Structures are given as C-alpha cells and as structure tokens.
Structure 1
Amino acid sequence: MLKLNIKDEIAPLKAVVLGTAKSCGPTPAPEDAYDPKSLEHILAGTYPLEADMIREMEAFAAVFRKYGVTVFRPEVLENCNQIFSRDIAFVIENKLIIANILPDREQEVEAILHVLDKIDEKHILHPPEEVHVEGGDVMPWNDYIFIGTYSAADYAEHITARTNKKAVDWISRQFPNKNIKSFELRKSKNARENALHLDCCFQPLGKGKAILHKNGFLVEDEYEWLVEFFGPENIFEITADEMYHMFSNVFSISPDVVVSEKNFTRLNSWLRDQGFTVEEIPYAEIAKQEGLLRCSTLPLIRE
C-alpha cells in the first residue's frame, strides 16, 4: 500500500504519477481545444507531434530515475491525451482528491486505477458534483493551502475557469487545520493573458524562493500578499511572455533540485545563482498545450 504524504511543493519526492503522451490522438479540431494556447497552435499548424512529446516525457522520467523516485504511468488509452496527470487528481497530506474535471476526461482517472488500488480507499476523496477543481489550482504549503479560483458571474462561459468557489469551501471543510488562501486568477481567451491554473502564474520553491507573475492575478492585494509572504527579495517575477511559455510551471524534486525547461535561460540562471541544482529538459512541445512540468505530475509521496 502507498502511504500518501504531501505537505508542500518541495520536500524530497519519493513517488509520483507521470502522465503519458503515448497514443494521445490526432491534432484536435479547433472547436475541441480545451484552452486558448492549444487553439493557437491548432490554427497555426504547429500543434505538437506525439513522437516529440513522448521524447520530452521520457527525458522527465529519466530525471526521476536519476533521483531514485518511484514513477507510475497511466495505462495507455487509445487516442486520449493523458499528459496532464495533475488535472485528474492531487494529494494533500494523506488524502488523494479525485478532481471533477471536464466530463470527457473522466476515463483518464480509470487509467490510473492500478495506482489508486494501492491506496486505502478511506484516503480517497470524491468531491460532490458542484465542486469544480483541478490540481493545477491547488498547492499545499505547510500550514497553508493555496488555491487558484475564479468566482465572477461569467465562470460558466470560460472553459479556462477550472476551480470554483465551492471547491475552495469544500477543501476548507476537508482540512480544517489548514489556512486556506484563495487567489482570483485572470481568465482570458487570449493565451498571453490567461492564467489557466494557479501554477501558471505562481510557484513556491525551496530556500524560501518563489516565481510570480503579477498579471495572472485579478486582485492586486492577493498578489501583494504573496510578495509579502515570501519577501520581495526572494521572488523571481516573470514577464507576460515568460508566463505564456510557462516559466512558473517548473517542478521541485527536493528543496535544492528543480526540473526546468532548457529554454528558460533567464530563470535557470537565476535558480543556479540561488544555489539550486537545475535539471534542464526539453519540454517546449508539451508547453504548446498550456501545461508544463508541474502539470504532468501527480506527486503521491514526499519525505
């Protein structure tokens, strides 16, 4: 049995579900795009090829092996995009929460049943139907749980609005000992302004550092709260272009080791200056679907 344990984003990683790009299907039709960035690449004829995405994910798996992490992969479903395992479930402390995701992605959960079978079922939580939540919006951080949300009246009109106010309330009830801090995110049909999830504009790191993008937040005070929480001197502020390329969606294997995209030159130099070991891998093709390293992982156990 797996003894789930996730209290933050950075403790040494022991076990993870890494998505798969195998048999992810043909390029979607424009009307089937889940997010503005995928749509942009579908229309431009630059949507990523399966072979390239498999290669990128294998590079990620190799880094996990290097650090002795146990890696689970989903069963391959034919013609199904299963790259972003963070969307389908996430762990807080010793509980795995199955996300209520876009209805046509439910089979992705079935593809990780061989992992769920290793977890005591009383530690698996199924939120009620009205609770919309995806793992990219949820970050356990010691005494806090940070949650990205969108609570404006036009929520239903945005396919990019993934976590609602009911999710914030529900998670608060499941973890009464935690301080819940929610952040209103900017939702837009313009891929250069849209913060699909919280991890598209914010990422806490080891050594007290964090990556932030101010314009991803709708409420300036909420952004300022994070600046204050981490301290301005500890923050790497990314530009709109860097947010578009998913600079904040890196992944910590431990407090000292960060996996990052090899083209993130400015960020990777800063990380090294702060004393991090940076494991650079190619991930630019997967990034075209508005998801990157953190989105592809579902951490199960950290030390």
Structure 2
Amino acid sequence: MLELYINDETSQLRAVVLGTAESCGPIPKAEDCYDPKSKLHVLAGTYPLEKDMIPEMEAVAAIFEKHNVKVFRPKIIKDYNQIFSRDIAFVIEDKFITSNILPDRDREIEAIQHVINQINPENIITLPEEVHVEGGDVMPHGDYIFVGTYSGEDYSDYITARTNIDAVIALQELFPDKTVKSFELRKSNTEPKENALHLDCCFQPVGKNKAILHKNGFLIEEEYEWLVDLFGKENIFEITKDEMYNMNSNIFSISPTVVISEQNFTRLNTWLEAQGFTVEKVPYSQIAKQEGLLRCSTMPLIRE
C-alpha cells in the first residue's frame, strides 16, 4: 500500500506522479484550446511538439531518480494529452482527492489507476459534481489549505476558471482542523498575461518560509497583502507579468533546500541560489507553452 502524506509544498519528497508527453496527440484547433496561452501558440505556429516535450519530461524524471524519489507515470492513452497530472487529483494529509475537471480530460484519471489501486480505498475521496476543483489551485501549507478560486457571477463564461467556491466549502468540511484560505484569481480567456489559470501560476511557497508571488494574479489586493504579511516582504520574490506568463512561479520543490526550475529563469534561479537553495535546472520551455510547468506536471503522493 502507498502510505500517502502531504502537508505542504516543500517537505522531503518520497513519491510522485509525473505526467507524460508520449502520444499527446495532434496540435489542437485554436477554438479547442483550454487556455489563452496554448491558443496563442497554435495561432502563431509555435505549439510544442511531442518530440520536443518528451526529453523535457525525461530530464525531470532523471532528477527525481537522482534524489531517490519514487516516480509513477500514467499509462499511455493514444493521442491524448497527459502532461499535467497535477490537475486530475491531489493529496492532502493521507487523503487522495480526485478533481472534477473539464469533461474532455476525464480519461486522464483512468491512466493512473495502477497508482490508485495501491491506496487504501477509505482514503480516496470523490467530490460532488457541483464542486469544480483542479490541483493547481490547491496548496496545503501546514495548518492552512490555500485555494485559488473565482466566484464571479460570470464564472461559467471562463474556461480558465477551474475551481469554484463549492470547492472551498468542500475542503473546509473535509479538513475541519485546517484553515481553508481562498484567493480570487484574475481570469482571461484571451489575454495570457492577464490570466492566472491556477493559484500556482501566481504564487508558490519555497523552502521553509519563502514564496514566489505575482501581485496582478490576485483580483483582491488585501488577499495578496495577506500572503505578503504571512511570509514577510523580505522573503518574497515578486515576479513580473512576463515572468508570470513564462510560469516562473510554477517550479517544484523536492525538499526544503532543493528545487527544480526551468533553466531560462535566470533572475529567479539567481535569487534562489542566493537564498541557499540547490536549483536543479531543466529545459521546460516547450511544456510551458501550454500554460503549465513543473508543478503542473507533478502530483506529489508522499512527503516526509
């Protein structure tokens, strides 16, 4: 059995699901894209190719191996995008919670059934249908669970709005001893630099007390300021609009001192190293074109 345990974003990682770029299917039509960034690349003729994405993901797998992390991969579904394993489910404490995601993507969970079969069935939670949630919006942080959401009445107009207020309520009911803190995110179907697809596109804790933040990703300034107060201004790396667009906040922690980051994130990586982190740099710029990066393509199962 897998003894699941996740209580934060940065403790020592022992087991993870890493997505796959194999057989990810043809280039989508612009009107079928789920986010404005993918659409932009389809229209520009720069949408990433399978042959360029596979080595990027294998570079991450190699780093996990180097750090003795057990890696699970999805079974390959022919011509189906299975890169972003973070969206389909997430672990909080010892509970495996399956997301209610866009209907076109529901086969992705079938592809990790071999992992789910190793989990105590009592710890597998399926949320009610009205609860919309994706793992990119959910961050356990000790006594807190941070949740990115969008509660506007025009929620259904945004394909980029993935997590609703029902999810915030459901998580609070599931984890009564934790404080579920929600953050309203800025959404756009057309402007990738004005769209925080998930909470991890504009915020992520690193190490014991530091964080990467992008102010414009938050609709409500007080909610952004709450995070600044929690971590302390001196512990925050504020990213620019272009850095958010390039997914600088979407790196991934293997431990409190080791992070995986994209090799081109020069300003961020320099800051991380100055703070004493070991930065494992990988090429991930092709994957990034689909508005997802390292955190999006990993689903941690066990941290110490």
Residue 19 of structure 2 aligns with an amino acid whose one-letter code is: G
Contact 2:10 2:208 in 1 (8 A): no
Mapped to 1, the partners of 2:201 and 2:181 lie a distance apart of 17
Rounded to whole Å, the distance in 1 between the matches of 2:41 and 2:250 is 19
**Equivalent residue of 1:152, what SS?**
coil
Residue type at the aligned position of 1:124: I
1:207 aligns with 2:208: yes
Deviation of residue 196 (structure 1)? 0.1
Question: How far apart, CA to CA, are the structure 1 residues paired with 2:197 and 2:32?
Answer: 16
CA drift of 1:31 comes to 1.2
Any idea what SS the aligned residue of 1:295 has?
coil
Give the distance between the partners of 1:186 and 1:67, measured in 2 at CA.
36
Cα distance in 2 between the residues matched to 1:153 and 1:104: 24
Give the match for residue 112 of structure 1: 112
Which ranges of structure 1 fall in alignment gaps of 5 or more residues?
none
Q: CA deviation digits over 1:145-168, x for unaligned, max 9?
A: 000000000000000000000000
Partner SS for 1:71: strand
Residue number in structure 2 paired with 1:24: 24
| 1:262 paired to 2:266 | no
- Name the CA distance, whole Å, in 1 between partners of 2:289 and 2:167: 28
Tell me which residue corresponds to 2:217. Answer: 216
Per the TM alignment, residue 84 of structure 1 is displaced from its structure 2 partner at its CA by: 0.1
- Aligned counterpart, 2:277: 276
- The match for 1:74 is 74
1:36-94 Cα offsets, whole Å, 9 max, x none, are 00000000000000011001000000000000000000000000000000000000000
8 Å contact kept, 2:136–2:200: yes
Aligned partner letter, 1:66: K
Match of 2:296 in 1: 295
Give the C-alpha shift of residue 264 in structure 1. 0.0
Cα shift at 1:233: 0.3
2:193 is paired with a residue whose SS is coil
1:167 aligns with 2:167: yes
The residue identity in structure 2 corresponding to 1:120 is: N
Counterpart of 2:191 in structure 1 is 190
SS at match of 2:194: coil
Give secondary structure in 1 for the equivalent of 2:281.
strand
Distance in 2 separating the partners of 1:198 and 1:167: 14
Indicate the RMSD between aligned Cα atoms, in angstroms. 0.4
**CA–CA distance in structure 1, aligned partners of residues 155 and 223 of structure 2:** 19
* Partner SS state of residue 284, structure 1: coil
Give CA-to-partner distance per residue, 1:105-130, whole Å, 9 cap, x none. Answer: 11100000000000011100000000
Is residue 126 from structure 1 mapped to residue 126 from structure 2 by the alignment? yes
Give the SS at the match of 1:187.
Answer: coil
Q: Which AA in structure 2 matches 1:246?
A: M
- Provide the rounded CA distance (Å) in 2 between the counterparts of 1:104 and 1:161: 15
Task: Give the Cα–Cα distance (whole angstroms) in 2 for the partners of residues 177 and 53 of structure 1.
Answer: 41
Q: In the alignment, which residue of structure 2 is the partner of 1:51?
A: 51
Q: CA–CA distance in 2 between the matches of 1:47 and 1:275?
A: 35
Letter of the 1:5 partner, please give it.
Answer: Y
Unaligned 5+ runs, structure 2: none
Inter-partner Cα distance in structure 1 for 2:63 and 2:274: 21
Distance in 2 of aligned mates of 1:262 and 1:148: 27
Structure 1 residue 228 and structure 2 residue 253: aligned? no
Q: Under a length normalisation based on structure 1, what TM-score does the superposition of the two structures give?
A: 1.00
Deviations 1:24-45 (A, max 9, x none): 0010011110100000000000
Q: What is the CA-CA distance between 1:104 and the residue it aligns to? A: 1.1
Distance in 1 between residues matched to 2:104 and 2:43, nearest whole Å: 22
CA distance in 2, matches of 1:124, 1:239: 38
SS in 2 for 1:172: helix
CA distance in 2, matches of 1:62, 1:193: 34
Post-superposition shift, 1:207?
Answer: 3.3
What count of residue pairs does the alignment treat as equivalent? 303
